[in-house]
Amino acid sequence: MKEPRVVAIIQARMGSNRLPGKVLRDIHGKPMLAWVVERARLAATLAEVVVATTTDAGDDILAQVCKEMGVTCFRGSTFDVLDRYYQAARESEADVIVRLTADCPLIDPTLIDLVVTRFFEEKVDFATNRLPPPYQRTYPIGLDVEVVSFSALEKAWKEALEVHEREHVMPYFYDAPGRFKILIVDHETNLGKYRWTVDTQPDLRFVQEVIARLPDKEHFSWLDVLKIVEEHPQLSEINAGIAHKTYLDVDGHATNTGENHA
């Protein structure tokens, strides 16, 4: 029996509402997307890393950057991101999909491996180390890893009809109990108060300041970031006032409920 093929799919697009073009913003000499791709590639459990962007002309530059990085770029729907993920997973022949986002440059390959390993150990349909508000989380925002089997993703792709379920990819797995077997991988200490994702200019500045302080900017763990943040509490004040989106928030342009997905 062959090993399941685990593929990380990083969603990315230039049209962010709060910080347009954020995925290519510079962080210590590299675009943010490059940080996410390179960090994901360090995860031992992954067979491949794919970037899933849109067919919009504004995302042509992302396809070009992916080509320069030597990473596969799949292009699909702008707002039906569930369809984009499903099509990318099918094209990459993934048995298991790891969902990552291009606005999390501090993503930790060891956490990716942890959630993937637990996914297989517990034989679940869906495993994650966070759920969005209003759910509680124990890892800092920006270390988010979601792992799902292809068969479960296909089921969600066929059945999910709500706009937020299509745009945010995974809510169909957890917004109604009992649909799937799910696992939440929690940290023993609740560190959910920390915000390490990039959605606004203050978020970007926070990450730039943190990475500038990392002695090894290639092989670092999220615990190294935590140490810096705890030693320099003023850093967390940079983006302390930023409200995190809930899973029910949808882009104002997303009017297609995805009824043509099947």
**pLDDT by position in tens, the chain (length 262):** 789 999 999 999 999 888 999 999 999 999 999 999 999 999 999 999 999 999 999 999 999 999 999 999 999 999 999 999 999 999 999 999 999 999 999 999 999 999 999 999 999 999 999 987 778 899 999 999 999 999 999 999 999 888 988 998 999 999 888 899 999 999 999 999 999 999 999 999 999 999 999 999 999 999 999 999 999 999 999 999 887 655 454 554 443 333 333 2
Within 13 Å, how many C-alpha atoms sit on residue 165's CB side? Answer: 18
Tokens encoding 136: 């509680």
Tokens encoding 72: 């596969």
Nearest to 137 by CA among 93, 185, 200: 185
Tokens encoding 217: 């900017």
DSSP 251: -
Residue 76: the pLDDT is 97
Residue 97, judged by CB atoms within 10 A of its CB (0-12, 13-18, 19+), counts as buried
Integer CA distances (angstroms), 259 to 53, 80, 128, 223, 254, in order: 21, 10, 27, 43, 13
Residue 256: the pLDDT is 37
Integer CA distances (angstroms), 128 to 19, 46, 137, 168, 184, in order: 26, 16, 10, 14, 5
Integer CA distances (angstroms), 118 to 45, 113, 186, 190, in order: 11, 8, 11, 19
CB distance 184 to 135 below 8 Å: no
How far apart CA 118 and CA 111 sit, in angstroms, is 11
Q: Phi first, then psi: what are they for 74, rounded to 5°?
A: -100, 140
Residue 251: the pLDDT is 54
Backbone CA torsion sign across 174, 17, 72, 58: positive
Spatial neighbors of 20 by CB under 8 A, at least 6 apart, are: 14
Assigned architecture for domain 6-237 = Alpha-Beta Complex (3.90)
Residue 262: the pLDDT is 27
What are the beta bridge partners of residue 126? 148, 182
How far apart CA 8 and CA 102 sit, in angstroms, is 12
